[in-house]
Amino acid sequence: MKHLFLVLIIFISIDISAQNDANNIKKIYSNSLTNGKSYEWLEHLSNKIGARLSGSLGAERAVAYTRAELEGLGLDKVWLQPVMVPKWVRGLPELAYIETMPGKTTQVNICALGGSVETPNGGVRAQVIEVSGIEELKTIRLDRIKGKIVFFNRPMQADLIDTFEAYGGCADQRYAGAMEAGKLGAVGVIVRSLNLRMDDYPHTGSMTYGDLPVSQRIPSAAISTNHADLLSTMLALDPTITFFFKQTCKQLADVESYNVIGQITGSQFPDEYIVVGGHLDSWDLGDGSHDDGAGVVQSMDVLRLLKESGIKPKRSIRVVLFMNEENGLRGGKKYAEIAKSKNENHIFALESDSGGFTPRGFSFDCSEDVFNKVLGWKDLFKPYLIHYFEQGGSGADIGPLKNDRIVLAGLKPDSQRYFDYHHASTDVFSAVNKRELELGAATMASLVYLFDTYGIDAE
């Protein structure tokens, strides 16, 4: 009889705790959808501050604004973590056209890629060689590349369901195209925008020259998908047409900026840290509403939602708004460096950097044991239509925290529209839906709540 009694008590206690979790998660979602702050914060960040490229006035103002807002939440601690960041400036609006015969030009929409050098004073004018990628470039006779503009025109693959996979299959052209073409004697690079839509907006993004000598560093720019198709069609008709572009972008000296950090100190295990974050910097063309204003305000709201829902964390929960994800990752590296130097025990980190769209679930970078534990929580999310729990990557900013023990995760929102806006002038506040954003914040807060409650030890 004694054994039977014990078994009953255990079952009852499991039931109560599952019910308690369900109730707390319901409170979190309800608070976010009826009383969330994420949308209001995003409105300010996007419309009052705007673009926030590292080293810009916008980035500085975003640091001050988010710090002040976090201070207003009654957290246990809010602080700035200094970090030196690169400063790249776009300069004057870019100019580009296709010239089919002297004086007969068609203007096209381009934007310099982040990190690119400027063109010579009079711009670059040359014939164009179109390739589908770096591999193809390497198969071409050198004399066909020398003195030319290389046009990387591999489109994102439309039949991949996860658009990030399609992005991953094309991003090398943008990131390393100019480096590879520069080695071969090209004078400039034009890259098809990483966009699944046909439209008129060029999409910027980071690129590298690696350790190329300055003399081989050639300017590179992205061209809109419509104009990429136009250029390709015109080249097919006449391979001798020329392309002209001019840009005045510059890499300046590094400047000081900050990660913005807020903390609720844990009641039972204050030395165990959970991080939730997004990146505060953005590209300069739009206002970075999806990339990553959404992740910033959702992460801020996670701490507020826990408080509003009457949840007192056992572990220390930190919101970290990372600086410089887009062109250096300095904020993420700095945060991990400091955490390591202080021997802080980080058990879980969650990043939102895939847009403020309807959340579908999470991608986990963790051991099989912890993943199985997480799968045990999946049913708690079913009422909120959160169904995606898979092993995979997490987020760029939290990546440097990786060790044998920490669990890293990334929020996975619906990805269909993300690349319509990513790094383009279309990434603006009106492209974000309030409910979708708020559902994301609640989904993140619910996962943070569960990791705080149950830790990361296998059961």
Q: Exactly one of 1, 4, 142, 158 binds a copy of itself (CB under 8 A); which one?
A: 158
CB of 459 to a copy of itself, least distance (A): 25
Q: Exactly one of 18, 21, 33, 314 binds a copy of itself (CB under 8 A); which one?
A: 33
Determine if 387 is a binding residue for a copy of itself (CB under 8 A).
yes
Q: Are 406 and 349 in contact (CB under 8 A)?
A: yes
Indicate the residue among 114 and 155 with the shorter CB distance to a copy of itself: 155
Question: Which residue stretch of 15-23, 46-54, 146-154, 435-443 sits at the interface with a copy of itself (rule: CB under 8 A)?
Answer: 435-443
- The encoded tokens of residue 7 equal 């078994």
CB of 301 to a copy of itself, least distance (A): 15
Indicate the residue among 67 and 203 with the shorter CB distance to a copy of itself: 203
CB atoms within 10 A of CB 152: 28
Question: Which residue stretch of 79-87, 153-161, 219-227, 251-259 sits at the interface with a copy of itself (rule: CB under 8 A)?
Answer: 153-161
Question: Which residue stretch of 77-85, 179-187, 292-300, 383-391 sits at the interface with a copy of itself (rule: CB under 8 A)?
Answer: 383-391
Give the per-residue contact string, 109-148, with a copy of itself (x = CB under 8 A; - = no): ----------------------------------------
Q: Exactly one of 4, 161, 214, 236 binds a copy of itself (CB under 8 A); which one?
A: 161
Burial class (CB in 10 A: 0-12, 13-18, 19+), 95: middle
CB atoms within 10 A of CB 162: 13
Question: Which residue stretch of 156-164, 178-186, 254-262, 448-456 sits at the interface with a copy of itself (rule: CB under 8 A)?
Answer: 156-164
CB of 41 to a copy of itself, least distance (A): 17
Determine if 254 is a binding residue for a copy of itself (CB under 8 A).
no
Residue 165 has φ and ψ, to the nearest 5°, of -65, -40
Q: Exactly one of 2, 122, 141, 159 binds a copy of itself (CB under 8 A); which one?
A: 159
Residues near 263 by beta carbon (within 8 Å), at least 6 away in sequence:
75, 76, 77, 78, 316, 317, 318, 319
Question: Which residue stretch of 60-68, 71-79, 298-306, 409-417 sits at the interface with a copy of itself (rule: CB under 8 A)?
Answer: 409-417
CA nearest neighbour of 448 among 379, 377, 353, 355: 377
Indicate the residue among 260 and 432 with the shorter CB distance to a copy of itself: 432
Determine if 383 is a binding residue for a copy of itself (CB under 8 A).
yes
Indicate the residue among 170 and 406 with the shorter CB distance to a copy of itself: 170
- The encoded tokens of residue 316 equal 């220390």
Residues near 9 by beta carbon (within 8 Å), at least 6 away in sequence:
none
Question: Which residue stretch of 215-223, 247-255, 266-274, 380-388 sits at the interface with a copy of itself (rule: CB under 8 A)?
Answer: 380-388
CB of 2 to a copy of itself, least distance (A): 42
Indicate the residue among 196 and 231 with the shorter CB distance to a copy of itself: 196
- Cα distances (Å, whole numbers) of residue 11 to 8, 14, 15, 19, 378: 5, 5, 6, 12, 19
- Cα distances (Å, whole numbers) of residue 425 to 100, 139, 246, 288, 289: 29, 35, 19, 9, 10
- HSE (CB half, 13 Å, CA atoms) of 19? 6
Determine if 230 is a binding residue for a copy of itself (CB under 8 A).
no
Q: Exactly one of 226, 414, 453, 454 binds a copy of itself (CB under 8 A); which one?
A: 414
Number of shown-chain residues binding a copy of itself (CB under 8 A): 26
Residues near 379 by beta carbon (within 8 Å), at least 6 away in sequence:
none
Indicate the residue among 8 and 375 with the shorter CB distance to a copy of itself: 375
- The encoded tokens of residue 106 equal 């068609």
Q: Which of residues 316-375 bind a copy of itself (CB under 8 A)?
A: 358, 360
CB of 281 to a copy of itself, least distance (A): 27
Q: Exactly one of 13, 435, 457, 458 binds a copy of itself (CB under 8 A); which one?
A: 435
Q: Scanning the structure block, which residue is given the tokens 């991949």?
A: 160
Q: Which of residues 175-204 bind a copy of itself (CB under 8 A)?
A: 196-197
Q: Where on the chain is the footprint of a copy of itself (CB under 8 A)?
A: 29-30, 33-34, 158-159, 161, 163, 196-197, 358, 360, 383-385, 387-388, 414, 416-417, 420, 433-436, 439
